[in-house]
Structure 1
Amino acid sequence: MKGEQVAKNANLLRAELRRQGIMPTVVKIKPKPLFGSAGKKISAKDIAVFSRQLATMIKSGVPIVQALEIIGGGQKNPKLKDMLNSLRADIEGGSSIYEAMGKHPVQFDELYRNLVKAGESAGVLETVLDTIATYKENIESLKGKIKKALFYPATVIVVAILVSAILLIFVVPQFQQVFRSFGADLPAFTKLIIAASEFLLSYWWLILLIVIGGTFGFLFAYKRSPAMQHTMDRLILKVPVVGQIMHNAAIARYARTLATTFKAGVPLVEALDIVSGATGNSVYERAVHEIRDDVAVGYQLNMAMKQVNLFPHMVTQMTAIGEEAGALDTMLFKVAEFYEEEVNNAVDALSSLLEPMIMIFIGGVVGCMVVGMYLPIFKLAAAI
């Protein structure tokens, strides 16, 4: 017989196998692959599915250790399987599920762990896990819509640059040879296009180096500079159409995250501290920190939200109604649903608007180059 099992060391595994009536001949540590660990990365979708499965099993009365063993046994992704086996081993060793998840902070962020801790304390872990699964599914859907909204403008720019580069590198030089045989003076617009073609052919390596270096330099600085992140996030919020989508998305994520944490029994001030990092925008993150500080000294949530001057009147009013009625989580869920629908509609409208604009923009770029190349021919025909 051969097999694999998670254990802290070989001696403990031998003892466990003997207890099960198995006398092992060789027990050795499984070697790691040469180039990183095998299997694809554990995605947020994987965690959402795992949360739903675990909640269903706990509701059905399956002990948590056995539930983790069943779920882990059915995984095809080795990384996810190893993580679930690690969780099971830690819980078998006496750790709470909150403590076991704390060893995997990338997959289980602070929000997730705090919700699980609240669910464990209140004895409603299965309900909390079900809520987390729904939350993660909605947030991932929202992220997908935001990426779709940003993808179209980026596509227009990239395609226009590629088409222009192809024309300048392969097409314009052919026309340039023909124009030389004319010996006539070329129009200024044609000279400009030829000069651009010659520059691209001579210094393509420099342009490529600047583009690659600039991209990596920007990403490096953006990831390590909070000031730059805040500046870029603030600028994105001011971009027409896209900025409004980002505003609505940040409000939706704020409302859904706060509603989920508050419903799980996390105190409001602590919940706001967790929520700040889940908005997806540093402008809103700073605003939520201000709201948390105001609530901590006695302000009502809706009043603190008004102070930051970022949330629409409808959001603050619904929050006020929820606070007065003792149904804050319910109202915030409604706010989240409304703004998620707004994002969905805005992304669909943006897609419909940009499709013809992409064609017009690329057609305009190609048309200008074609006109520039044919102008000398038109002049020659007129002279004849």
Structure 2
Amino acid sequence: MPDFSWRGRNGAGDIVQGVMEGAAANAVADSLLGMRITPIEIKPQGTNLSATSKQDSASTTPSFQFFKEKVNSIDVLLFSRQLHTLLRAGVPIMRALAGLQESNNNPAMKIVLGDVREGLDSGRDLSLSLARHPEVFSRFYISMVRVGEMTGRLEEVFIRLFEHLDFERFMKEQVKSALRYPSFVLAAMAVAMLVINIFVIPAFAKTFKGLNAELPLMTRVLIGFSEFMVNSWPFLIAGVALAVLAFNAWRKTDQGRYDWDRLKMKIPVAGKIIQKGTLAHFAHAFALSSRSGVPIIQALSNVAETVDNAFIAAKIEKMREGIERGESVLRTTIAAGVFTPVVIQMIAVGEESGALDDMMQEVADMYQSEVEYELKTLSQQIEPILIVALGAMVLVLALGIFLPIWDLGSTMIKH
């Protein structure tokens, strides 16, 4: 077999290169993706890659343009749908890309499409041309396109990608809407506490001090906490700002992201919605990969990188490792510990009948239905928690503020 010189980006985004033996460029690309290296260019051994290297080096030079437009998920979604329509109509791919580039309203997407066209002009496959832009097209997306090229069903792959990206966008919006209401309520309660401690309690404190009487313990605690907030608010603001910065820095680390994504799914009410939405994303992506002919090990590896949850991604990676050791999908699913018994039973039926992709699609639809139901009943689930929290707040304020007034009234009646 011939040798191929290759260049790509590793998981850290650094440019790496080397030489690999393979039957064709596609085979080398698959091997690199298995090594978690996104290929940028693959050429027969002896071809000079220096010119392209310089070009890529220039393209990776940090840009200091302000308000620079970026390619967002909607751009990729529309690109997939439009390219499917053009290919189904029999338009050659070069003409299709040229038309999409000319009609696109996003300058960043125009640049990406122009580079993809140049890659095709130079003899690269479409998947390799798309892989030159890992910030736009995910490994899952590129793998699906490569399957479409190998099977000759590129237009079918693009409509499936469109449906998957649309499903992914829908689930993210659903989860965000689930978190929006409790976040707003917690923010409102925090503002109410600030107003009470900064404006209300100090007014009562002046009145109580004029009475020269011994105050109840709860009243002294409230007044002390209020005085601390009034006198130390600059330090409190600085502390909150530092806490937010420290939390964001911790969350960006690998271990921090893993722990935070695990804790998110334990948040009362909202946590189960996040978990079900993430598992729906996984099941839908896995079903799409299986239906398109992607090997199960490669499918799990790609899906693990597309799931926006480090904890679930780690579970999927363990599933992949178990299957590599020869275990069944059912056994690895049970070991993951994140699926319900009903889902496990569906996977068992799918594996036995050879229709695992259909069963995983059923799992995705089931989780999606559950997320929609949870969102519809979200207010009913949160109301008891809010009532208890507000009741506790009112009780503390009543005990702290009105007890001294009641004691004073009792004393005046006795005298």
Question: What is aligned with 2:340?
Answer: 312
Aligned length: 351
* SS of structure 1 residue aligned to 2:377: helix
Separation in 2 of the partners of 1:95 and 1:366? 69
C-alpha deviation, 1:163, in angstroms:
1.0
What's the TM-score once normalised by structure 1's chain length? 0.82
Residue of structure 2 equivalent to 1:92: 121
Which residues in structure 2 correspond to 1:1-384 (within 5 Å)? 35-39=65-69, 41-224=70-253, 226-355=254-383, 357-358=385-386, 361-362=389-390, 364-365=392-393, 368-369=396-397, 372-384=400-412
What amino acid does structure 2 have at the position aligned with 1:232? W
Cα deviation code 1:141-162 (max 9, x no counterpart): 1122222333333333322221
CA distance in structure 1 between the partners assigned to 2:401 and 2:335 by the alignment: 59
Query: What letter corresponds to residue 360 of structure 2 in structure 1?
Result: L
Counterpart secondary structure, 1:165: helix
AA aligned opposite 1:180? K
Question: Measured at CA, do residues 64 and 367 of structure 1 come closer, stay the same or move farther in structure 2, by a change above 3 Å?
Answer: farther
Alignment TM-score, normalising by the size of structure 2? 0.77
- Shift of the 229–47 alpha-carbon distance from structure 1 to 2, 3 Å rule, reads same
- What is the DSSP-based 3-state SS (H/G/I as helix, E as strand, rest coil) of the residue aligned with 1:177? helix
Shift of 1:105: 0.8
Matches of 1:217 and 1:73, distance apart in 2: 45
1:50 to 1:363, Cα distance in 2 relative to 1, 3 A: farther
Check the 8 A contact 1:152/1:354 in 2, yes or no.
no
Q: Identify which range, 189-198 or 126-135, moves more after superposition.
A: 189-198
- State the Cα RMSD in Å: 2.5
C-alpha distance in 2, partners of 1:283/1:153?
A: 23
Whole-angstrom CA distance in 1 between matches of 2:79 and 2:301: 26
More contact order relative to length (CA 8 Å, sep ≥ 6):
1
* Residue type at the aligned position of 1:109: S
The structure where strand makes up a greater share of residues is 2
Distance in 2 of aligned mates of 1:189 and 1:135: 56
Give the deviation of 1:35 after TM superposition. Answer: 4.1
Alpha-carbon offset, residue 322 of structure 1: 2.3
Contiguous gaps of at least 5 residues in structure 1: 1-31
Percent of aligned positions that are identical = 30
Residues 366 and 104 of structure 1, relative CA distance in 2, 3 Å threshold: farther
In 2, Cα distance between equivalents of 1:94 and 1:363: 70
| In structure 2, distance between residues paired with 1:42 and 1:50 | 11
Alpha-carbon distance between aligned partners in 2 of 1:362 and 1:194, rounded to the nearest angstrom: 20
